[in-house]
Structure 1
Amino acid sequence: MMDELQAVETFLGGLLGKLQPAARRAAMRDIARELRRSQQTRIVAQQNPDGSRYAARKPRTKPGGKLRDKRGRIKRAAMFAKLRTARYLKTEADANGLAIGFAGRVARVARVHQLGETDRVAPGGVEYRYPARVLLGFTDAEREMIRDRLLQHLTK
């Protein structure tokens, strides 16, 4: 992830220096808003930045082979439904740069899934090594969008 950020910064750093601070701030805000939107749609589609699908949830069964009852049911809805909302997926932009990330307590959950770390399934429960599901990352289309938006702001 850091290599991707450094590549974008070296590519666009010279162009950003040519803008006035107010114009840079507007460009960063515009790019951050569009990046968040594209990250949200990719999370809805359950895809990593390279286009592969997220690893499926681990199937869980009772010792008798039945799925859990209503009380301990396993959610089969799309993962990260609340994480992708603007309430948790925050953007910050100023004349020096932009940041997109998760805010609050959900940042830990996002980090565990982003990096494929080990965490407790429930408070006091068993530990499980989650497969890496890259929530935030650059696709080729997003790199092109960043370049295009920056060029739009440069030609104004």
Structure 2
Amino acid sequence: MDDALKRLAHWAAPLLAGLSAPRRKAAMVQVATYLRRSQAQRIGAQLNPDGTPYEARKPRRLREKKGAIQRKMFAKLSTAKYLRKSATAEGATVSIGGKSARIARVHHHGLRDKVDWRKPNSPSVQYARRQLLGFTAAEEEAITDILLHHITAET
């Protein structure tokens, strides 16, 4: 996926350099908005960028009421409060912000972390890798279309 991004950047950089700064920023705002929406949908669908489902949670053995509603993982991360976008004339970014960025980083990279990081005696667990942010082939194609639209609208 990293190679595809480098190819896209290599292809788009000279074309975007010919645009005025306000037009480049408008293109980047549209790219960032599209990416945030598509990333939120993919996180909500519990899918990695390659289309595979997230590894399931380990079963919990808590005494819960029968029929309790189970929430999906990262349900709040797909909201605009946590999944933040920013755009300048130089680029567009989508990131996870706030205190939840720490939890997102652990899951995204599949790191080892304490179950409750606020408690010093909490057990340490190896979390499964669940890629929260990343590009799919459809997103790369859509970004290309957005950039082409802005490049051809200028001329």
| Fold-level similarity (TM above 0.5) | yes
| Cα displacement string for residues 83-128 of structure 1 (whole angstroms, at most 9, x for unaligned residues) | 1100011011010111110111111111111100111111322111
Q: Which residue of 2 aligns with 1:114?
A: 108
3-state SS, counterpart of residue 83 of structure 1: helix
Q: Which residue of 1 aligns with 2:10?
A: 10
Question: Structure 2 unaligned runs (5+)?
Answer: none
Q: Which residue of 2 aligns with 1:64?
A: none
Name the CA distance, whole Å, in 2 between partners of 1:5 and 1:114.
19
Name the CA distance, whole Å, in 1 between partners of 2:115 and 2:2.
28
Q: Which residue of 1 aligns with 2:55?
A: 55
Q: Which residue of 1 aligns with 2:130?
A: 133
TM-score by length of 2: 0.89
Query: Quick one: percent identity of the two aligned structures?
Result: 46
Structure 1 ranges of 4+ moved more than 6 A = none
Name the CA distance, whole Å, in 2 between partners of 1:18 and 1:92.
22
Name the CA distance, whole Å, in 2 between partners of 1:127 and 1:4.
36
Name the CA distance, whole Å, in 2 between partners of 1:132 and 1:13.
32
The answer (yes or no) to whether the contact 1:31–1:149 under 8 Å persists in 2 is yes
The answer (yes or no) to whether the contact 1:4–1:138 under 8 Å persists in 2 is no
Deviates more, 1:4-13 or 1:32-41: 4-13
Q: Which one of 77, 81, 91 corresponds to residue 75 of structure 2?
A: 81
Name the CA distance, whole Å, in 2 between partners of 1:153 and 1:32.
14
TM-score by length of 1: 0.88
